[in-house]
Structure 1
Amino acid sequence: MSAIYYPKIALANHQTTSCNNEKCKNTKCNNEKCSTQKCDEHIVITGELMHQPSKVTSDPKKPRLPLPAYDGAGFLKTITGFSISRKGGAGGDPSLRGMGGSRISIVDDGQHVYGTCGGRMDPPTAYIYPEAYEAITVIKGPQTVKYGPVGSAGTVLFEKDRNNFVGKNVEGRMSTTQGSFGREDYLVELKAGNETHYVDFDMNKSQSEHYTDGKGNKVQSSYDRNNYNIALGWTPDENSVVELAYGGSSGNAEYADRANKARKIDNENVTLLAKHNVDSQWVSNVEFQVYSNENDHIMDQFDQGNNSGVNVRRKTTGGHLWLDITTYDNWETTVGVDYMESTHAGRSIDQNVDNGLDDLLNKPYADNMSYKNLGLFIESNYRLNSPSINGKILTGLRLDQWNTALFVAQKGQRDDNLMSGFIRYEYLSNHSEYYLGGGHAKRIPDFWEFMKADINDASQKAFNLVPEKTTQLDLGWIYKNDVEISSALYYGKVDDYILIDATPAKTSAYNIDATIWGGEIGVMYPLNQHWSTQTTLSYSHGDNDTTGKPLGQISPLEGRISINYDAHQWTAGLFWRMVAAQNNVSIGEGNISGQDLSKSSGFGTLSLNGSWSHDDVLISFGVENLFDIAYAEHVSRSGAGNDIPGSEPMFQVNEPGRNAWVKLSYTF
């Protein structure tokens, strides 16, 4: 018998693995899994529309165009509103609605995994292989307080299922991808169990050589990465699950924006999860999770003959306890407490006494900074029962207590108590759903912001930064019928916005006031039984209210148009991406992911894709940047570190030129 997926306990109306596609409800979808919760519809995805207010949920196991990089950032760039700061072929830094860095909260199946490199070689998404997860959910804006410190730009959940098997069963999946520039991906997933026990194992490998841009110049961008995860589960009854999981990853990469190479980007993590559906008048679900993870990163120039190297590590431990309370039929509440402790340490070459990698690895670590965070929250969903009103009110409130210690430069310790919250009204009328929400998020400066120079004293760290405060209004309209439409608008004031300024002699961080606004709209229109089209448009704008200049690192207007064909075993499509010029810039200013380098030109790229399926086999393929255009994203990093012999100097890190790929998947 097939496996039954044990869903995560989450907010009401939060669907992680259910299939909302109407094709799973008619005769077009012949896959037997459509009768359960998960739909493996054979179609190449070119983008995701928002089907719930402020929320986009994606199935990362479906083939996509553009083909994502091996990490989480490569996947997020396919979702409307996201941009990626490119350094090379790996380690891109995501930005949502022009807000980058720690303004996006990344939650890896309940864990907070923070980057380690002072130059952001390894943002949190660098340790995530998207296809190994069952669902990726983006909550845009400060519209949840549940998942740890609030993401002022948004929250991204990389989620896995817990399994409860009926009878003995074994199932799995294998896939391989081959593409231009030596791109190779391999994935193996295996799940086995019975009514009381299960094992869930996945292993993947991804690698690529340096790619070539549209001018034929090689871009220093190679990477090689391996990931593995194993989970052992106990399901004593249909209402309970206890799972112990261990995972690890190892890799290396080269980048075009710096001389340092990432010799080592490793991670180990362990989690213990217990969930129970309670048969009680007051409490319906209990979830408890503890985790520990450690990143180990070496960056150096030893292979180039330079005696320069740094080894940094970061250990993070934490956990949460959530209770779902149902006091009335129309009122659901989640209360919870979470704790996180993270310490960053490092060691580096002393060029007067050390020489090479062995000397680096024999040096002791010294702590640089540590964080401790205790959070308390309550989040509620109240459904209105009036016959004339079909809607709900969602609200949440969160208190974070922070203790931060600095062990370098001026040294010191600080305590911060931060309050965040939101309220949102959702109204359903026939095929339309409208929503209006207000959110307020207070954010402690992160490691990279604190470690920048103080604006008034370059010898000191920016440890006196004031917490950032974002107050934002979100509203939108979702329409579901033969035609699907999703739209969202937002307007926010950011008091004490933390600006990274690279124009002084030493990069500094200081507080300003800012205004952000913008929106997204997406339309999916079926032309006939086999043909459909999808269009999305996104725009973000930011102003530095303190100086009257634009806010740095804001992506320009972007539009995406796809035409898709779907007929039984075959699918095909064209994907046209258009990006406008960005003239609203502040040279040298931005965030921890990067700073504005110049104004940028607009561009457009055309891609094509297709797939063929038979029983449990799916072959998908694509050609991206069909006309071999040479271009760089506005948020791209400087190309000053691109030192491949024979390649012309680059002002910015250019995107790949024409590249083709084919992917084979087998499910059993």
Structure 2
Amino acid sequence: MMNKKSILTIPFVTLGLISLPCLANEAVTKTDESPTVERIVVTGELMKDPTKTYTDPKKPRLPLPAYDGAGFLKTIPGFSIGRKGGAGGDPSLRGLGGSRLSIVDDGQHVAGTCGGRMDPPTAYIYPEAYDNITVIKGPQTVKYGPVGSAGTVLFEKDRHSFDEAGLDGRASMTAGSFGRTDHLVELKAGDEKHYFDMDVNQSSSDHYKDGDGNKVQSSYDRSNYNFALGWTPTEQTVLELAYGSSSGEAEYADRANKAREISNENLTFLLQHEFDSQWLNSIELQAYTNENDHVMDQFDQGVNSGTNVRRTTSGGHLWLDFTLASDWTLTAGVDHMDSTHEGRSINPAIDNGLDDLLNKPFKDNMRYQTSGLFVESTYELPHGQLLAGARYDHWKTELMVAQQGERTDDLFSGYGRYELTSGNSQYYAGVGHAQRIPDYWEIMKADVNNPSQKAFDLAPEKTTQLDIGWIYEADIAISTSLFYGEIRDYILIDANTDKTSAYNIDATVYGGEVAATIPLTEHFSTQTSVSYSHGDNDTAGTPLGQIPPLEGRITLDYQYNQWAAGLLWRLVAAQDRVAIGEGNISGQDLAESSGFGTLSFNASWKHNDALLVSFGVENLFDITYAEHISRSGAGNDIPGSEPTFQVNEPGRTAWVKVDYTF
């Protein structure tokens, strides 16, 4: 462990970033003859556009190639993951998680099912199977369904067209410590009028060990299958029908229940068409339906306890893009979503085992229906642009358990942002407002004034946030992103009451991220990032729970011909601003946490454009540590293990990955 003083090096990183523009003219740049090597991404991509970070999930990256969406987001500054074990991590952005972070799976909203968050939306996402991942920080878009007050993450796939009949594909395999194995196969085939797209992947791992050699209950096994058939009758038109299936199981260190099944099936229809018109540019229509099925039980431990929950979500959107003038574009759209959660549980007095559980009837728990209308506009100015958007959502929520009842809510969200371009710099300032309905997990907590009832009367959460930043791109690349938000009726989860309850408070959050890429010589470069978040419970005059500590990352990268190598030093400060027992649906603060530092190594070798071999070792010095945002390790009771206060991170981990493109 590192003590608090060990983290004092992080401010020096910040000071270095402030002085970067002075170094720009002295930086060594690559010539046209310099070799191009697939560098392993270790601190996430820098922000290229105001509020937005784009990344290619097929690029090799550190840490160990991510098994699910949460593991991938952890590589991007500003994100934290609440670890339960090897799978099912819950992502948060700037200390705001749950439904404050909108996860959009190639146009679909796939909500989790488990009341204990065994399957957050990212659990069904294998990142490498996607073509693009976009993070929009803050409430700075209203386009993608219910607005994410913390931000929006888009996992997207490309649509394909072929000039002539052809076939291409990709295969990858990963092997690592603790029995980690991944396999992926992608195929794309088509001609001028049709295409077929397929990806199949499988990932599994045994229980890992922490730095002390203590086994952490964390095994998982998951398979994903996705198929798409496309018709391109003209160069301007795409129609696609896609089917996806995901199934798996997992064990967690924070609970006795095993996730016997975490599965999802989805069906999507997509129409995209570009118009040859002066004012109407394009139309996109998408309709989808998906179903999650989750079984959690203790039957294997000899305990007659089990629950099966299921969620069915259907929806779609219609988007229209317009050009109103040579300097003015507008997108308008409508969307709808209908989601029903249902469940069944064992009754130990009359039921026994898995068969009895699966033969019981499902009972509805809750149903959401929402319809939205939005407009987003971009107006070009001589040296920048002005962007704005507004959204209206009508919600109907029905509770079928406890006190039962119905409620309707009319919510309004919007934003405005000014972006200025000057030389190699972009500057931006935006104000966004997002209103958020209480989600399933919040409503299912106890009413703080009547613990026998559900928290069905929670007020919608209202976030108003200022986002400002500076992006510089020349020999040196720098991105800065700062935010200040006031949240009225913040929905707080409190485990200090007789029953874990949910109630509204007022809160303030602020912080930001600073990152840079600096070439040092022809072959050496460095990446640096610093992220910080601060949260206050204004109602109680105390810290806000589940806020991550100050974090810095420093890398040294080397490239020569077909070879690339790098070191990543990650420094995380202690966190003494805590609210014990308070937080959000992902977890609550357990205690103050110590700071730590880890060192990781990676390297890769590329042969032509077809073969790439990458490998690495993480937590090189095998230290024992846990992230501040982590679940309790009290459920860690498999043979060869002992309970831990928090779920410790993996010890020294080695891995190798082979990619072949054809």
The correspondence for 1:203, drawn from 189, 196, 200, is: 200
Structure 1 position 42 matched with structure 2 position 35: no
Structure 2 residue aligned with 1:623: 617
Q: Percent identity?
A: 70
**CA-CA distance at 1:140 after TM superposition:** 0.2
**CA-CA distance at 1:662 after TM superposition:** 0.2
Structure-2 separation of matches of 1:613 and 1:566? 11
- Where 1:125 maps in the other structure, the secondary structure is helix
Contact (CA 8 Å) 2:557, 2:565: kept in 1 or not?
Answer: yes
Structure-2 separation of matches of 1:59 and 1:24? 22
Matching of residues 350-499 of structure 1 within 5 Å: 350-385=347-382, 390-499=383-492
- Where 1:651 maps in the other structure, the secondary structure is strand
**CA-CA distance at 1:645 after TM superposition:** 2.1
In structure 2, runs of 5+ residues without a counterpart are 1-27
Give the paired residue count.
Answer: 633
TM-score, scaled to structure 2: 0.95
The correspondence for 1:292, drawn from 289, 292, 304, is: 289
Shift in CA distance, 27/161, structure 1 to aligned 2, threshold 3 Å = farther
Cα deviation code 1:469-495 (max 9, x no counterpart): 000000000000001110011000000
- Where 1:107 maps in the other structure, the secondary structure is strand
Amino acid at match of 1:583: D
Structure-1 separation of matches of 2:298 and 2:220? 16
Contact (CA 8 Å) 2:259, 2:295: kept in 1 or not?
Answer: yes
TM-score, scaled to structure 1: 0.94
Structure 1 residue aligned with 2:145: 148
Amino acid at match of 2:400: F
Structure-2 separation of matches of 1:541 and 1:291? 38
- Where 1:303 maps in the other structure, the secondary structure is helix
- Where 2:646 maps in the other structure, the secondary structure is coil
Structure 2 residue aligned with 1:516: 509
**CA-CA distance at 1:280 after TM superposition:** 1.0
Q: Which has the higher contact order (CA 8 A, sep 6+)?
A: 2
**CA-CA distance at 1:568 after TM superposition:** 1.8
The correspondence for 2:73, drawn from 71, 76, 81, is: 76
Shift in CA distance, 438/231, structure 1 to aligned 2, threshold 3 Å = same
- Where 1:337 maps in the other structure, the secondary structure is strand
Cα deviation code 1:320-358 (max 9, x no counterpart): 000000011111100000000000000000111000000
Matching of residues 100-119 of structure 1 within 5 Å: 100-119=97-116
Structure 2 residue aligned with 1:318: 315
- Where 1:537 maps in the other structure, the secondary structure is strand
Amino acid at match of 1:186: H
Shift in CA distance, 516/361, structure 1 to aligned 2, threshold 3 Å = same
- Where 2:650 maps in the other structure, the secondary structure is coil
- Where 1:490 maps in the other structure, the secondary structure is strand
**CA-CA distance at 1:567 after TM superposition:** 1.3
Structure 2 residue aligned with 1:652: 646
**CA-CA distance at 1:25 after TM superposition:** 10
- The root-mean-square deviation of aligned C-alpha atoms, in Å, is 1.2
Contact (CA 8 Å) 2:30, 2:522: kept in 1 or not?
Answer: no
**CA-CA distance at 1:67 after TM superposition:** 1.5
Structure-2 separation of matches of 1:662 and 1:381? 45
- Where 2:632 maps in the other structure, the secondary structure is coil
**CA-CA distance at 1:218 after TM superposition:** 0.2
Structure-1 separation of matches of 2:136 and 2:561? 33
Matching of residues 266-345 of structure 1 within 5 Å: 266-345=263-342
Amino acid at match of 2:554: I
Shift in CA distance, 447/25, structure 1 to aligned 2, threshold 3 Å = farther
Contact (CA 8 Å) 1:69, 1:89: kept in 2 or not?
Answer: no
Structure-1 separation of matches of 2:512 and 2:659? 36
Structure-1 separation of matches of 2:439 and 2:572? 31
**CA-CA distance at 1:649 after TM superposition:** 2.2
The correspondence for 2:213, drawn from 216, 219, 225, is: 216
**CA-CA distance at 1:28 after TM superposition:** 4.3
Contact (CA 8 Å) 2:162, 2:191: kept in 1 or not?
Answer: yes
The correspondence for 1:160, drawn from 157, 160, 170, is: 157
Structure 1 position 538 matched with structure 2 position 531: yes
- Where 1:171 maps in the other structure, the secondary structure is strand
Structure-2 separation of matches of 1:563 and 1:346? 50
Cα deviation code 1:447-505 (max 9, x no counterpart): 00000000011110000000000000000000000011100110000000000000011
Structure 1 position 132 matched with structure 2 position 126: no
Shift in CA distance, 465/184, structure 1 to aligned 2, threshold 3 Å = same
Cα deviation code 1:41-94 (max 9, x no counterpart): 611111221111001001000110011431100000000000000000000000
Structure-1 separation of matches of 2:513 and 2:318? 35
Contact (CA 8 Å) 1:624, 1:659: kept in 2 or not?
Answer: yes
Structure 2 residue aligned with 1:51: 48
Structure-1 separation of matches of 2:65 and 2:462? 33
In structure 1, runs of 5+ residues without a counterpart are 1-21, 31-40
Structure-2 separation of matches of 1:328 and 1:69? 44
- Where 2:351 maps in the other structure, the secondary structure is coil
Cα deviation code 1:579-626 (max 9, x no counterpart): 000000000000000000000000000000000000210000000000
Amino acid at match of 1:653: V
Structure-1 separation of matches of 2:326 and 2:29? 32
Runs of at least 4 residues of structure 1 off by over 3 A? 22-30
Structure 2 residue aligned with 1:640: 634
**CA-CA distance at 1:281 after TM superposition:** 1.7
Structure-2 separation of matches of 1:184 and 1:98? 31
